[in-house]
Amino acid sequence: MQSEIKNILDFTLLFNKYKVQLYNYVSKMVSDRMTTEDIVQNVFLKLHENLNRIRVAGSVNYWLFRTARNEIYMWYRKQKSYRQIFDPTDLDELEIDSGMNLTDKVETKELSEIINEEISFLPEVQKEVFILKEYGGLSYKEIGAIMSINEELVKSRLFKIRKRLTNRLSNKIK
């Protein structure tokens, strides 16, 4: 009985800690709200089923994002279509500080649209690295483990992506 209560408490703590990060990652990779919710739900269901098997606290983050990545790939395989992963027109998740005036909100939305458009042009591998870092908040080491690449390659790709985005955005904003 006590171990069941501990598992429920552990799961609740993990769910509350990772739900936003995981949702953001999946939503940027899939861009369909219902599918995102289904995938995130499946990931947490699998976490609940495997909670006793995850031994090291630090590995939970890795496990969740790796499982989410696998779920996303399975979903794409089921769809049998490799349409564009990121839909720059889906800005429903854009959070704007309520203290902003209307002009600031419009400018923020326009900038967000430009950034999302540029991200959509990135090759899939670069896009995933960027989304894991910027929206998932993962470390270089965690991204490398999830994508089965070394940490230096993650850093190199992020540097190139940021440079590319900076150049393209500075040209568009001028």
Predicted TM-score (pTM) of the model is: 0.59
One-letter amino acid identity for 11? F
CATH code, residues 1-81: 1.10.1740.10
Name the segment(s) of the chain with CATH classification 1.10.10.10. Answer: 100-174
Considering only CA atoms, which of 44, 43, 26 is closest in space to residue 85? 26
User: Residue 28: what pLDDT?
Assistant: 85
The band of 97, judged by pLDDT with boundaries at 50, 70 and 90, is: very low
* Distance, first Cα to last Cα, the chain: 64
**DSSP 8-state code for residue 6:** H
CATH code, residues 100-174: 1.10.10.10
Name the segment(s) of the chain with CATH classification 1.10.1740.10. Answer: 1-81
User: Residue 151: what pLDDT?
Assistant: 93
24-79 residue pLDDT tens = 889 888 878 999 999 999 999 998 888 777 766 567 888 888 899 889 888 887 77
The CA distance from 115 to 159, in Å, is 16
The CA distance from 109 to 28, in Å, is 16
